[in-house]
Structure formats: C-alpha cells, structure tokens
Structure 1
Amino acid sequence: MKRFLAFAAALTLSACGTPDPNVQVLSYASPYTATHPFSRADIIWMKWIEAKTGGRIKIHPHWGGHLLSSNENMLEIRHGVADIGMVTPMYARSAHTQRIQPSFYSGVKDIGQQIAVYRCLAEEFPAMNAELKGLRVLAVQGGNFPGILTRNKPIRSLADLQGLRLRAQADTADVLRSLGVDVVNMSMAEVYPAMAKGVIDGVVAPADALRSMHLADVGKYFSTIKIPRGAYPGRALSMQVWNRLSDADKAIFIESEKVWEDAMVASIDRALIDGFDYAKEAGLNIIPMPAADQARFDALYRDNAFRIAKYLEPFGVDGPGMANRAAQLVQNGVPAGCGDPK
C-alpha cells in the first residue's frame, strides 16, 4: 500500500506538469536514503544532467525504497513506476545470466576493472543484455570486496563458518554452502532488521556497509576475508522514456554513463575508508583471515564459477565460454574500446 500511494503521488505530480513546458522532469527511485554513498553518486549525476541540458531535463528523486521493490525493480521501471532507478538484476528470478555472471571475476583487482570486464562481456554475449529487455542501462556498478560481518561468532578460519546463517549473493552462495553455511538471499535493505532480530547470524558485505547501512550497530566481528565480486547493471532508464528522447539528449545520457560510474567509484572508495573508521569507533573486532584459508577460499570460488557456468546452458547461454572470457579479461586486460558506451 505504501508503494502504491507513493506511485499515485508521483503520477499526480507528473499530471500537474511543470511551470515551464520546455522542462522535462524524470523520476528517479532508489532504495537508499539521500545520504548513502550510492545516493551521493546519484546526485552528482542528476546535477550533471541538469547542467548539461541547460535545465531542459531535471531529475526528481524518490529516496528510501517507497517506489521500487528489491526483487522486481527492473519490471517496475519497464512499466513506468519510475522513469529511472537503481536496479538489482541478481535478485530477478528470470535473469539467470545476470544472477550468475558476477561469479566469473575471480582475481579482479579493483572496481574500474570490474566495470570494464562487465561491459566487454555484455558486448560479446547478447544474453546479458537480453535479460534487460525494456531498459536502457545508464551505469554499471562494481563494488568493494566483501568480508563477513557476524553478530556473535568471530570468523578466524574457514572452519568457523560451519553452521552460520548468512546473507550472501548467488555468486558466493555455493562456496559458502560447501563450508557449512546456511545461505539466505535477501536485499541489503533487509539485512539490518534481520541481523537485529537474529533471523540471520551475519552478512557477506564490504566494509563500506558498516557505516553506510549502520551494520556495525548489529554486528560484533568483521572478517576481512577477500571475497571476489563482479559488476552488474546498477542504474537503468525505461526504454519508453529513452525512445522519447531527442538524438541530442540520447547522446548526453550516453556521455553521462561514465560520469555516473566515475562518481560511484569515487563514492564507494571513500565509503570503504569511512566504513573501517566507523567500525573501529564502534568497537567492532576486525579479524584477518589466515593466508592459507584465503588461498583455499579463492580456489573453491574459481572452481565453483566454472561449475555453475554450466547452469546457463539449458537457457541457450554459453556459460563456460563467458566464464573463460571473463578469466582472460581479468588476466590480460580489456581491449581498447571493448564495451564502450554506445
């Protein structure tokens, strides 16, 4: 009901128009507050669009998750609940490739490389974009490497994971299950209350979430095990809106993709530092993972990536080929021009 009322209010605002008929107002929806690191990057992009178009296009944000759901946000944007929004294809049941492909980035060094590898894969493997039908991707999102935050039990070795109930994304789930973890797949917005109530024992998340989502308030221990992660489409525009834009405005939005991605990288990098500082002030115990356990985890992760790549074959997707190509791109670098916004 809350989301319906917000949607109705947005429609009412749209129906009322704007004081200047030459100004186009587009709605933007995010599950986060305006002060979240992701949102700070979103605001930089919004201001850039307005400045670049001379005020002809303005972005009206809706923060706090009252417009889009965590699982069906791609469908909701496609059908006009919001013109633009943060999307999470890894939670969409029908997005098989998008859910599995973040597993293929073992060895990736930083966020910039995550984004470059994703864009190149999306250019070479049509299945990745096919699952985004009805959407124009405006930014690819990478992220800091996750560790493991727990409520009551410190993780000093892989053996300590046995019996824990942890929130983790699909790319890590099978590896954790092999180590005795009961894995729960839920949106990050649900993690704080779930940990506070003891529904889950912890979460696989980067250190920036310790502050940005206040997770240090519901956890006592943070293991710095380095869990690989890939990139994914993070911001998207309805194709219905895209098709109404002039060629000149489409060119501006294409140019804005790098602006948005660069803003997110800078904001996420800053958030990582802030997260560790916040955790130390909150008295959180930061626990390193022994090198031998990290090496074992990395090997399990790589083996699992090539195993689950085969799950895509029944859907007509060359999963093993995609996994191999990702490994090549990580090791050898992304060729110049591969995956550039078009």
Structure 2
Amino acid sequence: MKNFKGVLFIVSLVFLLAACSGDGKEASSEETFTLKYNSALPPSTQEWHAKAKATEEFAELVEQRSNGRVKIDIFYSNQLAGQVESLDALAKGTIDFQNLTPSAWGDKIPEGGFAALPYWNLNEEHSLYIMRETEIGELYEEAMENYGVKVLSYWPTSATGLMSNKPIRSVSDLKGLTMNLTSDLVADFYKKAGVGVATIPYAEQYEALLRGTLDGIQFPFYSLEDYKLAEVVDYITKPATISPALGLVAMSQKTMDRLPEDLQKIIIDTAIEMENEGVAGSKRLTEEAYVYAQENGIEIINMTKEAYEEMRELHKTTTWVKFTEKNDRTKKMVELLDGETEKWKKENPEMVEEFEKSFGG
C-alpha cells in the first residue's frame, strides 16, 4: 500500500508540473525583460515634443501597461552605438530600440532617404498617410525587415526648410549662394541652380553662417532658437522644404520575436499611439518657430505657388531621380508618390487649403 501511495504521489506530481508548464506561456507569463533604447538625440526638453512621446513617454507607458514586465532603459546621444553602427547592433539584438532619422542608414538601407526628399510632403497627416497607408511605406518596411529590423513608429520633428542671409523666393535666388551640402542626393540640384556648396558639420553651421562661409542651410526651423541661428540668418522660406521631417523608432526583430505575444502587442500599440500623439507637438513646434522668427527680426518669405512648383520640379528632375537610381524599391516609391498625394489631397481639401496659405501673392 505504501508503494502504491508513493507511485500515486509521483504520478500526481508529474501531472501537476506538466499542467503548470503547459506550452510554456503560462509558466513564462511573469517573465520580465529589460530592453535597451539607444537614441541619437539628447533628452527631450518639453514633454509635449513628439520626440518625448516617442522616447520617454513610450518607455513609461510600456512599463505601466505591461505591469512592469517590460522595462526600457534609455541611452541618449548614441551612448550604446554610433549612428552607423546602430543598424547592425539592432539587427543582432545588441540593442533593442534605436531612435534616429530614416536617412541615417542610407548607405545600407537607401529607401530611408525617401523621407529626406525635398518637397515630398505637405503636413504631418500627409506624411503618416504615405508611410502607413500606402505601398511606399510597405516598401520601406520590407527593406528594414530584410535587415532584421522592424519599423516601430515615426515621429514628426516639425518643419525643416531654407534659412539664409539673403532672400530666397525662387530658384533664381539660389544662384551664386553657398549652401551646406549634407547629402549627395541634392548635389545635382545645387549644380543646376548655380549654387556653390560647402560641407560643414551641423555643429559648425553657426560659425560658418557668421563668417559668410555659408549663405544658407536647410535645417529645422526650431533651430533658430535652440541653436541660436536667429543671430546669423535673416530669412526663412516657406513652404518648408520638408514639412515635417520624420524621426524613426526601430526595433530589433530578434528582440520582438523573443517577447510573448501580449508584450509585442503592448509595444506596437503604444508606439502607434505615440506616433499619432506626436502630430500636435510637431505642429506646435513649427508654429512656435515662426513666432520666434518674427519676434527676432527674421523675415519670413512666402514663395508664390509658381515659384514653389518650379523649386519642386527641379528637385524632382535631380534629387528625386538620383534617389530612384538606388534600387527597384526606391524607384517604385517615387513613382507612387504623386499619385498617392493626389488621392490624399482629394480626401483632405481643408488640409490642402491650410497648406496653400504658405504661398505668397
């Protein structure tokens, strides 16, 4: 009888352990994960900034919504990996998240240069429509996935445009100016427009503008205040060249794959929520930049619609063409853009009307 009870106890214990472990999901349901978030940028200065939504608030909400099962440690200014190295670090799972601009990995994922094409977008909503609801975004995500990286979210960084010490109202006004060359994609545009170029690091643009080494730059308008560029430029030109520029939060596919499905969903849903909430912050940052410009004696030039179309067309036949030559995906992305934009315009006439207020008479 004692032997029978012993066998029964062992059998019962085996069934109990099996029930507890099941397919592994229940046993691991309380497993915790500490993930590393590498950002190319410094900490946010305002909680309403789109960058803050995509970084600090995103990390806080994921920890809350996962009941502490996911903790995200943020490392600023590329502390864990440099801008170039971060792509491979992400693909290998050495880091779990990376925040930077899509064009930063252009050498290995040229499709990311799409978001830097001059005059490709009209506002935040249009930008997210193109990247989230069209084949253009799918082509970019496909390129990222092939590298082992998942697009998690985009965050609009506000308007980037022409700032100069001489007025730029049209293509003809560019002739004879010296501009900063930050991408080989625009080299042909500058050549055809009669622009001289210099290659100046961003951190040295203030000094170059002060000394006259540069006559103008393409840079975020908020830098008038943040980088004190209002002291060395006299004009900004609207519409912005890129309205808005986009930041990117990417995630290691290896990291995503090792997380339980419920945690994957929390991360993805929270990232999308922060992406949408970033729209208001981006618009506010742009408007505050215009107010700051006016308060500090910067003349805001509004190109005519005809001058804008001329500027855009010259970029399409130079900068955009150079982008299409990268590979089949980049070619297809550009081929789709105007058609998708026209579709968006028809569905959002009030936003088109708002955009066209940037045109001068």
Q: Give yes or no for TM over 0.5.
A: yes
Give the aligned partner of residue 178 of structure 2.
Answer: 164
Q: Is residue 143–residue 268 contact of structure 1 (8 Å, CA) maintained in 2?
A: yes
The within-5 A match list for 1:55-134 is 55-80=68-93, 82-92=95-105, 93-100=107-114, 102-103=116-117, 106=120, 108-119=121-132, 120-122=134-136, 124-125=138-139, 128-130=142-144, 133-134=147-148
Instruction: Please state whether the residue corresponding to 2:167 is helix, strand or coil.
Output: coil
Is 1:40 matched with 2:52? Answer: yes
Contact kept in structure 2, 1:210 and 1:276, CA below 8 Å: no
Q: How many residues align?
A: 310
CA deviation map 1:47-98 (0-9, x unaligned): 2212211222222222234344344432343345532121334133122222
Residue in structure 1 matched with residue 339 of structure 2 by the alignment: 328
2-structure distance, mates of 1:175, 1:264: 32
**Aligned equivalent of 1:254:** 268
Secondary structure, in 3 states, of the residue corresponding to 2:117? helix
Q: Residue 155 of structure 1: CA displacement?
A: 2.6
State the distance in 1 between where 2:278 and 2:183 align.
Answer: 20
Alignment CA distance shift 1:274-1:171 (3 Å): farther
Identity in percent: 22
- Quick check: 1:49 aligned with 2:87? no
User: CA contact under 8 A between 1:122 and 1:128: conserved in structure 2?
Assistant: no
Query: Residues of 1 paired with 2:195 and 2:278: CA distance?
Result: 31
Structure 1 counterpart of 2:224, from 193, 200, 210: 210
SS in 2 for 1:140: strand
With normalisation by structure 1, the TM-score equals 0.75
Q: Please name the residue that 1:6 is paired with.
A: none
CA distance in 1, matches of 2:210, 2:145: 35
The 3-state SS of whatever aligns with 2:249 is: strand
Q: Give the Cα–Cα distance (whole angstroms) in 2 for the partners of residues 212 and 286 of structure 1.
A: 18
- 1:142, distance to aligned residue in structure 2 (A): 4.1
Summarize the alignment of residues 258-277 of structure 1 with structure 2, pairs less than 5 Å apart. Answer: 258-277=272-291
Deviations 1:23-42 (A, max 9, x none): 43322222233216343222
Instruction: Tell me: CA distance 1:80–1:211, structure 2 relative to 1, closer, same or farther (3 Å).
Output: farther
Distance change in 2, residues 1:238/1:33 (3 Å): same
Of 183-192 and 163-172, more deviation after overlay is shown by 183-192
Equivalent residues of 1:145, 1:226 under 8 A apart:
yes
Q: 2:36 aligns with which of 27, 33, 40?
A: 27
Classify 1:213/1:128 alpha carbon distance in 2 versus 1 (closer, same or farther; 3 Å): farther
3-state DSSP of counterpart to 2:127: helix
- Deviates further, 318-327 or 52-61: 318-327
8 Å contact kept, 1:73–1:88: no
Q: Which amino acid aligns with 1:78?
A: A
Match of 1:224 in 2: 238
Distance 2:306 2:248 in 1: 34
Structure possessing the higher radius of gyration over alpha carbons: 2
**Corresponding residue SS for 1:137:** strand
State the secondary structure of the residue aligned to 2:154.
strand
In structure 2, stretches of 5+ residues that fail to align are 1-29, 348-361
Aligned 8 A contact 1:49 1:253 in 2: yes
Maintained 8 Å contact 1:139/1:257:
yes
CA 1:322 to 1:158, structure 2 compared with 1: closer, same or farther past 3 Å?
closer
Normalising to structure 2: TM-score of the pair?
Answer: 0.71
Match of 1:276, SS?
helix
With 154-163 and 242-251 compared, the bigger mean Cα shift is at 154-163
Computed over aligned residues only, the root mean square deviation of the Cα atoms, in angstroms, reads 3.5
Counterparts in 2 of 1:319 and 1:23: CA distance versus 1, 3 Å: closer
- Give, as a single letter, the amino acid of the residue that structure 2 aligns with 1:114: S
Cα distance in 1 for residues equivalent to 2:92 and 2:203: 23
Which deviations, in whole Å up to 9, do the C-alpha atoms of 1:107-142 show, x marking residues without a partner? x43212212212323565378524761222111244
Higher mean C-alpha displacement, 182-191 vs 284-293: 182-191
Q: Matched residues in 2 for 1:115 and 1:154: separation?
A: 31
